[in-house]
Amino acid sequence: MQNLALKNSVQKNIAQKTQTPLTDYLLRLGDSALVLGQRHAQLCGKAPALEEEMALMNVGLDLFGQARNWLGYAAELIAAEGGGSQHKIDADHLAFRRDAHDFRNLLIAEQPNGDFADIMGRQFLFDAWHVHLLDGLAESSDPRIAEVAAKSLKEATYHLRRSSEWVIRLGDGTEESHTRMQRALNNLWQFTGELLQTDEIDQAMIEAGIAPDPETIAARWKATVEEVLEEATLERPSYDAWMYTGGKVGHHTEHLGFLLAEMQYLPRTYPDATVW
């Protein structure tokens, strides 16, 4: 499946000639944080309690900050390779001027908010992966990546604590919350395969000592998920279930186009505006 997706992937990247496995890898990290942050931005004023209003903005803010760091590094590398000669390449350019097929975020990050169980389920499945990945990346052979990962890890650890607690509360709360949480989990599960999938770009990063061993990440992710779901009295869908993948190579669900249309409209409507 992943090879098929790779073969069919639209090779029309922002800096086609200069995009390296490293920049692609950074875009994956940055885009997932950016897109998930954008889902949080959509939640402003809609939380079930004031405390959650703050928490959702807080998590979104962390994710946008991480996106800015990853994309900023990617932009520097692309610019250094002479990419994007027509425009100044910076984090904003990458965030606001690329189309969906150039985005490299995980599909789980772009899933719609739905109800609070969908939001927390999405966050938990992502956080459980994110924490372990960042923990590995903090030891990266690329010092810049190690630095950003170490900072992001502190934030992601807090995010995981919160999302785990909510999955447990909803799973082991009322009958209604249990039903909703289980449904959310079942619906989101098909996007978890992508978290654990390794393709050519990941492989290149692993060989360079930039990215951590995927087997370890997968094992830790599974352990975290199993522990929390058990405490939450929720049933874990099968690891062998069919998995929907493609985000990492620019093949997204139908949701991303709308998300970007909203997010990018100002820079696109006013292309001459260089500062805001």
Partner 1 sequence: MYAQLVETGSNKLKTLDEMSPEERQFQERINDEIKIEPKNWMPDAYRKTLIRQISQHAHSEIVGMLPEGNWLTRAPTLKRKLQLMAKIQDEAGHGLYLYSAMETLGADRDEEIDKLHDGRAKYSSIFNYPTLNWADMGTIGWLVDGAAIVNQVPLQRTSYGPYARAMIRVCKEESFHQRQGYQILLTMMQEGTDDQKAMVQDSINRFWWPSLMMFGPSDENSPNSAQSMAWKIKRHSNDELRQRFLDQTVPQLELLGCTAPDPDLKYNEETGHYEFGEIDWQEFFDVVKGNGPCNRERVEARRSAIDNGAWVREAAVAYAAKRQRRAA
Please give the residue ranges that form the binding site for partner 1 (CB under 8 A).
Answer: 38, 41-42, 44-54, 57-58, 60-61, 64-65, 67-68, 71, 91-92, 95-96, 115-116, 168-170, 172-174, 176-177, 180, 262-263, 265-267, 270, 272-276
Q: Quote the least distance from Cβ 235 to partner 1, whole Å.
A: 17
Q: Quote the least distance from Cβ 118 to partner 1, whole Å.
A: 12
- Whichever of 213 and 227 has its CB closer to partner 1, that residue is 227
- Whichever of 143 and 273 has its CB closer to partner 1, that residue is 273
- C-alpha dihedral, 157 to 162 to 167 to 168, nearest 10°: 100
If you ran DSSP here, which 8-state letter would residue 48 be given? S
- Whichever of 92 and 199 has its CB closer to partner 1, that residue is 92
- Whichever of 45 and 143 has its CB closer to partner 1, that residue is 45
Q: Quote the least distance from Cβ 197 to partner 1, whole Å.
A: 28
As a whole number of angstroms, the longest Cα–Cα distance in the chain is 58
- Whichever of 65 and 257 has its CB closer to partner 1, that residue is 65
Q: Quote the least distance from Cβ 53 to partner 1, whole Å.
A: 5
Measuring CA to CA, how many Å separate 131 from each of 199, 215, 218, 261? 20, 15, 12, 30
The torsion angles phi and psi of 11, rounded to 5 degrees, stand at -90, 60
**Residue listed under structure tokens 């001027």:** 97
- Among residues 275, 252, 276, 229, the alpha carbon closest in space to that of 98 is found at 252
The amino acid at residue 156 is A
Q: Quote the least distance from Cβ 97 to partner 1, whole Å.
A: 11
User: Contact at 8 Å (CB) between 159 and 144?
Assistant: no
